[in-house]
Amino acid sequence: MWFRWGGVKMIDAEMKEVLSRNICYFATSTKDGKPNVIPVGLVEPIDDSRILLVDVKMNKTRKKS
């Protein structure tokens, strides 16, 4: 999914350093506040407002879907 915030610089040097680590955790929530956190093995800043995330569903996750 791609989100755009009108060219606002959202990814600073500190965030890029965190994203360069081996594992990163990506958190989202539904409109009613239900959280979802997934470990992400590949995270790459594309520019100052976009991040590439690769999410691989495991068999156990697919069974729960």
Q: How far is CA 63 from CA 21, 34, 41, 60, in A?
A: 29, 20, 21, 5
What is the distance between the terminal CA atoms of the chain, rounded to a whole angstrom?
18
Chain segment 21-47, per-residue pLDDT in tens: 667 777 888 889 898 887 777 777 788
Domain boundaries, the chain: 13-64
Chain centre to alpha carbon of residue 41: 10
pLDDT of amino acid 32: 92
Helix (H, G, I), strand (E, B) or coil at 63: helix
Range with the poorest average pLDDT among 30-34, 40-44, 49-53, 59-63:
59-63
Chain centre to alpha carbon of residue 54: 8
* Total-model pTM: 0.39
- The model's confidence at residue 8, banded by pLDDT at 50, 70 and 90, is low
